[in-house]
Amino acid sequence: MNAVVEFFGRTWVRGVVLAIALVVLLVLPLVSDPHTNQTISHIAVFAVAVLGLNIVMGYTGQVSLGHIFFVGLGAYCAIIPIYYWWGGSLAEGAIVIGFVLSLVIPGVVGLVVALAAVRLRGLALAMVTIALPIIGVPLAKRLGDLTGGNEGLSIRRLAYEGSDGETYRGNPFGAPSWSGLDNDQWQYYLAVLLALLFFALAYFLVRGKFGRAFAIVKANEAVAGSMGIDPYRYKVLAFTISGIYGGAAGFLYVVVLQYTSSETLSFGHSIELVIATIVGGAGSIVGSILGGAFYVLVPQLTNAWGLSQYTLVAQGVIILLVLFLLPGGLASLPRVIRRLTGRRRGGQHVGSRERAESTSGNTKN
């Protein structure tokens, strides 16, 4: 066991594992059935959402209970330009505008909210962040002419006028004919490749200068201040980045679902994201993927096993098991195994590495 763990600890092995994972991710949609592709695309959406929450909660240690607001806002920013402009003179440009807006607007809103909110701490900050989805839902309904309100906007069979004046129906995220792909494969590539891009950016962010600053702010704000790191500035930065990631998840949401409504912003889903973050592993890149998988797969499995009335019970059991057995989330499983095997053998080498990893905080994966 120990040898296996050590084998996978080597840098080159990790590189190869990553390369194989990438190749499998790229080839898989060509051979698997549509539902598998759709499921993985869904996981990509929520993995990015959980990653955004992780940046502010896991890495910087600030409570955010309103993250779904950024996801829903991003979804609106993505879908509205497409809904009103796609197929017209702007053509595919509407999608590009939607993508840019879905990053910029949630980012700006995150910045503005954070400027005021992060002066607070703990429960007070949690209360302020709760306000976002609570305001968001009625606001989206009030702006029903733009957002479609409770009934939402669907772009899967969007009517548009062709150059010959006839009305056509098309899906902005349908596979273009040159690709030779099915819709589910095309959406898979869009969602998974964009998600990979955002994960790569986050990986370098949390390992670099900013990541170290976030970790110190999380550990002790006074110490951070004494080292010349302004906690306020870095907390605002973390919230802003988190907002951008939420918005990106919102764009992916539209890519995968081609629908959004005011219900997307609902507060309950925000708590589900927090739970997914904890189950996956706070402050962990791999944990974000596991959190997204938890969010998507548990309801699917309970449906498939004919236990659809027990979705919440199943989620509750998993949360309790994780909290008791793996307080660091599912992502900490290899470390726990390493610690257990290391202790049994009294392995000095492994034990010291474990200590080194757990104290550095921001180098977990």
Partner 1 sequence: MITTVTGRRVLALTAAASALALALAGCSRGGTPSDGGETDGPAAASPGITDTTLLFGINTPLTGTTAGPGNCTADGAIAYFGVKNAEGGIEFGDGKTRTIEIRTYDDEYNPEKSASNFNQMVADGVFAAGLGLGTPTNRAWRDAAAEEGVPQVLVMTGDPIFSTREDGYMTLGLVPTYMQEGAAFGEALVADGQPHQVAVLYQNDDYGKGYVQGFKDAIEGESNIEIVKELSYEPTASSLEGQITELAATGADVLFHAVSVTPLAIADLQKVIALGWKPIVFLPSNTASPGGILTPAGVTGDTFPGVYSAGFAEAAAAPPFAESEAGQAYFEAIAEYVTGHEQDGKSFPHCVWSWMGAQILEEAFKTMTEPTRESFYEALTSITGLETDFGFGPIDTTVDGSPAVQTVVLQKFNGAGYTNVDVVG
Nearer to partner 1, 152 or 347 (CB): 152
Q: Is 31 in the site for partner 1 (CB under 8 A)?
A: yes
Of 50, 255, 257, 350, the residue at the interface with partner 1 (CB under 8 A) is: 257
Nearer to partner 1, 65 or 249 (CB): 249
Q: Is 176 in the site for partner 1 (CB under 8 A)?
A: no
Q: Is 345 in the site for partner 1 (CB under 8 A)?
A: no
Nearer to partner 1, 312 or 325 (CB): 312
Q: Is 363 in the site for partner 1 (CB under 8 A)?
A: no
Find the binding residues for partner 1 in span 215-254 (CB under 8 A).
253
Find the binding residues for partner 1 in span 127-166 (CB under 8 A).
134, 137-138, 141-142, 144, 149-152, 154, 156-157
Nearer to partner 1, 271 or 337 (CB): 271
Q: Is 12 in the site for partner 1 (CB under 8 A)?
A: yes
CB of 151 to partner 1, least distance (A): 6
Q: Is 177 in the site for partner 1 (CB under 8 A)?
A: no
Nearer to partner 1, 142 or 343 (CB): 142
Of 1, 8, 9, 30, the residue at the interface with partner 1 (CB under 8 A) is: 30
Q: Which residues contact 117 (CB under 8 A, 6 or more apart)?
A: 125, 128, 129, 239
Of 170, 225, 299, 334, the residue at the interface with partner 1 (CB under 8 A) is: 299
Q: Is 33 in the site for partner 1 (CB under 8 A)?
A: yes
In 10 A of CB 115, how many CB atoms? 13
Of 220, 226, 300, 360, the residue at the interface with partner 1 (CB under 8 A) is: 300
Of 129, 262, 288, 362, the residue at the interface with partner 1 (CB under 8 A) is: 262
Footprint on this chain of partner 1 (rule: CB under 8 A): 12, 15-16, 19-20, 23-24, 26-28, 30-35, 38-39, 42, 134, 137-138, 141-142, 144, 149-152, 154, 156-157, 253, 257-264, 266, 268-269, 296, 299-300, 302-304, 306, 308-312
